[in-house]
Structure 1
Amino acid sequence: MSNSDALDLIAQLVDQATDADDLALADHALSLANDLAARKLGPSEMALLDYFRANAWACRYKQRLGDREAVWDFEQPEVRQQVFLLRRAVNSSGFTEMDAIRRCQILTNLGNQLDTLGRFVEARAYWSAALAIDTNFWMARANRGRALMHYAAALYDPGHHAIFAFHAHQELVESVGLAARYPHLGDCRLAPIFMQSAEQIANHYDVEAIGMACNPDGWGMGGDAMERAYRRWCLENILFLNPLNDVEKASVAAHDIMGLPDFTTEINEPPIVTGMFNALKQEFVSARWMLWEGIKSAEPHFSDREVLLYNTLDYPSYGLSVEKVKMAFRMAYSILDKIAYFLNHYLALAIPEKRISFRTIWREKDNGPVRDRFVKSENWPIRGLFWLSKDLFEEDMRDSTEPEARALAELRHHLEHKYVKVHEMRPGVGDHPFCDTLAHSISRSDLEQRTLRLMQLARSALIYLSLGMHREERERAKGKRGLTATISLDPLPDEWKR
């Protein structure tokens, strides 16, 4: 068969397998896909084949849905395969050659799978990317709306619940309307389910009243032009520690109001976890400011005057602003290991201090199973942390699921232990007479982009940590008896932050 005919056949087999819940047929389609992949396919053909393969793995995943224990297994091999294949399709050079609808389908499915794994903050970026390609692609809008209610259910702030419900209702109603006009842009069998979800929201919330009371742009953004510009940049890049920044890029979200949920301790135990989260949050916002300053700096700083440096003829980039971006990168990366330190204390994992890291906390042994303490928790945000760690620290995952993750890990290793050279323009390796073969070379723009990406990951991780603790506290409260006394902690005045 021709490549085109073979791809059509595999697509039909996968659709039949999905409709009939036929695992044998799904396996047959995957076997044929492996045979076809051995041919010399073009980039867009390979990306399309990966999409069909991912759908076959989605069919295989359906067998888990009737088994609660299997659904809450942290590893999820079928979802892992889907994420791998869909990301490979998105990052393929052939992705841009595919038609718009197919690109939207791939991005929507990738968002769905990340949401399943607990990475609900990052999933929104993929649904939004699909809608940026075609604003009428209602499947992405509907999934983004339904996911908002799952996100809302994980929140501890009832005021945020209402705003999330308002946005979710809008998304779902709009998607159902688009489904009637553009039925080919999704699975119309799901439209009644989306409508039912919208009706359930309307039954629990006065959506119209929430909309009328909502004034997202009625909040302060700072007293001077620089602060307003900084806060606007944070909003646009979704960097505020505030769940509202995931649904709004307005002033209501321009404040870092997220903290820890209410929690219960033994008598006389100090609020240690509050102090730990304060430190994590302060490091994050300080790193964010340094990144902003490093990116926006237009003039040399006086501390760099008369510092004797030599031009190595490969467009080197030096100065305080470059070092601020590097420091922001280091600080953001270190937050992840400190989250592991937090979890070790809070969950009483008893991991020796020297062995605590964001990579090792999840298992007793490096290649062993996930700790029962995590697997049996049914904690969706903590599962998101687990999968975020896989991207950064598991070798095969760095290679397969997030190409940028390997670059982040390598950059961090060289910044901490070796030699990084930043270039205004990065010369090609081997084609420049003054190529520095010892350095880990990176252009200034790439350094800034990777640091921004890492800051976004750190933000997601801090949100997952807070909401994972909220889920844990709700579980601990079940069946607990005895007297509980309430103690409130006052906010630290800004004047004390000298």
Structure 2
Amino acid sequence: MRLELKKINEAINAISYSIDTEQYEEALLGSEIILNELEKYEKSESVFRLFFNLAGQFIDAGTSLRNKNAVSKGIQILETYSEHYENQSNINYYYNLANGKLALANDCGYAEDDVNFKNIELFNDVKNLYWKAYKLIKKEDNYDLYQQNIINLANVLKQQFRFSEALKLYDLVIKENTPYPQAWLNRTSCLKQFDQLLDHRTAKMIMEIIKGYKFACNSHLTPNIWKPYYKNQVNFLTEQLDSKDLDSEEAETLKEYSSMTQFRQWCIEENLTLNIHGMYCSCIANERDNLTLLEGIISPTNILIYEQYLNRLKAEFSLMRVMFYESKFTNSSKFDYESCYSELDDKEIINIRSEKLRTCFRLCFSILDKLAIFLCQYFSLKIEKNTAFNNFWHQNKSALESKENFALIAINSLIFDLNEKNGQFGFYKVWRNALEHHILFLVPDTFELSNDSTHTYVKITDFENSLLNLIQLTRSSIFSTVFAIVEDLRQKMPNDKNNSIEIKIHKKEFKGSP
């Protein structure tokens, strides 16, 4: 005899209530009983739905109890019927499966070790799932899930030391007036980790860290048991600010931001600056791309050549950024008229604006490939004729993964995202190859796509949105490359600093600059 599906559904709801009231042992016991009952049924839409809900209970109860076997059981249910869930409930499927795998990766929230090259594949798998949900979910359909997924994705990026992207996502949620303290607290955690690893503490950073603790103190969603700790952190950090007033500092930051050019304001808003301070603040310190290898570094070796490499990369990034800006805000109709294209009714969008977008896309990959050469040169790695960002790690895997360098973890993570086979943005490389070696057409959003081996059609909105994301990924790669070299230089910092030379680099000035 088997339990009716209606009764099974009621039991799963009761299990959910047990979890909400922190009766985790009871919930797990109930989950085991219901799993045995469900397995007696032939597979149907109703049974699949009940399995899905039950998997979530195993993951939630198992995580709270630090019971990895229970979490694994929930993951196994989801993966056993993955083909069905991907088709029927893809967003929730990706999100729940990611939560389960993240629980395993983080030892149910009690992991002591950072992400490293022994466990990075599991974190990459988790990140892939959150990316899949991120690309599919619409906030107007499920606002809470939309925010929670972004927060969780940002957390994984933070764990992989991709600070610029994590902060961008936290800020995205915060600007939506989120009720969730996790967004603010994890942003605070990200800034503290950033400060610890890069020795980059400023008064403004302390203020931004305080904001997170203050929000948590005032949120009804924060457990009361944690609020005294957050209040103590606010008081401790406020004492370090020498009586600076947060409200007046905020007003001054806004005034300084308003004084910048419209182009620079746009760069700040779109997270396209090469300025460490600019990752978390839009004050006047973010007016220029002052990223450098040499700040605070004393080295017995001549590293000016690497600063020259960085200059070259910044120049190409700056050109690409200007072209992207011009494609959005300048009118090229006069130039288009003079170019005089044939009218073929083929729906291709062909004008100077679209050509700037296409060129920006190419430039991103040009910069990424140069970053690979940059890293190979600095770390004395093997360079082949075909060495590029997508393959240099594989060519030098053992040498790179023998290093304890947090920024190399970030670079490995970025390479995974752009991998053509497994990465969520591997199709960028396909588009780039079509731009370089075949024919890629940009077409209206209403165009019905029909690609073949030599012709690729991409909707203009998809291309433009993807380009912004690719530029931000490129920016993150530049930051991570600089951080990897700076971290290595710090590890090799000579003990005898008296016999070393500290190199001072001045910034170029240009006619007409303020």
What TM-score does the superposition give when structure 2 sets the normalisation length? 0.79
CA 1:441–1:9 in 2, change beyond 3 Å: closer, same or farther?
closer
Bigger RCO (CA 8 Å, 6+ sep):
1
Aligned to 2:507: 491
SS of the aligned residue for 1:136 comes to: coil
TM-aligned CA distance change 1:348 to 1:406, over 3 Å: closer
Indicate yes or no: 2:72 matched with 1:23. no
Q: How does 1:350-429 map to 2 (within 5 A)?
A: 351-364=382-395, 370-377=397-404, 379-397=405-423, 402=424, 405-424=425-444, 427-429=447-449
Identity %: 19
Q: 1:51–1:86: 8 Å Cα contact kept in structure 2? A: yes
Residue 417 and residue 15 in structure 1: after superposition, are their counterparts in 2 closer, same or farther (change >3 A)?
A: same
Aligned twin of 1:182? 221
User: Which residue identity does 1:208 align to in structure 2?
Assistant: K
**C-alpha distance in structure 2 between counterparts of 1:212 and 1:94, whole Å:** 37
1:159-206 per-position Cα deviation (integer Å, ceiling 9, x unaligned): xx331221111122112211xx235xxx66655665565455446554
Superposition pairs for residues 104-123 of structure 1, below 5 Å? 104-123=147-166
Q: Partner of 2:179 in structure 1?
A: 136
Q: In the TM superposition, what are the counterparts of 1:71-470 in structure 2 within 5 Å?
A: 71-73=115-117, 75-92=119-136, 97-98=141-142, 100-132=143-175, 135-155=178-198, 157-158=200-201, 161-178=202-219, 181-183=220-222, 194-195=230-231, 197-198=233-234, 201-202=237-238, 204-206=240-242, 208=244, 212=248, 215-219=252-256, 228-249=261-282, 251-262=284-295, 263-266=297-300, 269=302, 271-302=304-335, 304=336, 306-349=338-381, 351-364=382-395, 370-377=397-404, 379-397=405-423, 402=424, 405-424=425-444, 427-429=447-449, 438-470=454-486
The residue number in structure 1 matching 2:39 is: none
- How far apart in 2 are the matches of 1:346 and 1:118? 20
Distance of 1:40 and 1:102 partners within structure 2: 17
Partner of 1:458, secondary structure, is: helix
CA-CA distance at 1:371 after TM superposition: 2.6
Whole-angstrom CA distance in 2 between matches of 1:460 and 1:196: 33
Which is further off, 166-175 or 51-60?
51-60
- Structure 1, unmatched stretches of 5+, are none
Which piece of structure 1 moves more, 482-491 or 385-394? 482-491
**Pair member with larger Rg:** 2
SS in structure 2 at match of 1:166: helix
How high is the TM-score relative to the length of structure 1?
Answer: 0.82
In 2: Cα distance, 1:48 partner to 1:495 partner:
55
Q: Kindly tell me: are residues 353 and 88 of structure 1, through their superposed partners in 2, closer, same or farther at Cα, counting changes over 3 Å?
A: closer
Is 446-455 or 189-198 further displaced after alignment?
A: 189-198
Q: How many residues align?
A: 465
Aligned CA distance change for structure 1 residues 441 and 480 (closer, same or farther; 3 Å): farther
Q: For the residues of structure 1 that align with 2:97 and 2:438, how far apart are their CA atoms?
A: 40
Judge conservation of contact 2:117–2:401 (CA < 8 Å) in 1.
Answer: no
8 A Cα contact 1:291 1:328, kept in partner:
yes
Q: Deviations over 1:88-139 (max 9, x none)?
A: 23333587544x3333322211111111112121122333344455521111
Please tell me the root mean square deviation across aligned C-alpha atoms, in Å: 3.3
Distance 1:452 1:173, change over 3 A: same
Question: Does the C-alpha gap of structure 1 residues 444 and 36 become closer, same or farther in structure 2, counting only changes over 3 Å?
Answer: closer
**Distance in 2 separating the partners of 1:245 and 1:6:** 46
Letter of the 1:276 partner, please give it. Answer: Y
Partners of 2:232 and 2:427 in 1: CA distance: 43
Q: In structure 1, how many angstroms separate the alpha carbons of the residues matched to 2:310 and 2:276?
A: 16
Secondary structure, in 3 states, of the residue corresponding to 2:441?
A: strand
Q: For residues 1-47 of structure 1, what are the alpha-carbon distances to aligned partners after superposition, in whole Å with 9 as ceiling and x for unaligned?
A: 5555444432232223222322222222222223454556874x443
Shift of the alpha carbon at 1:329? 1.7
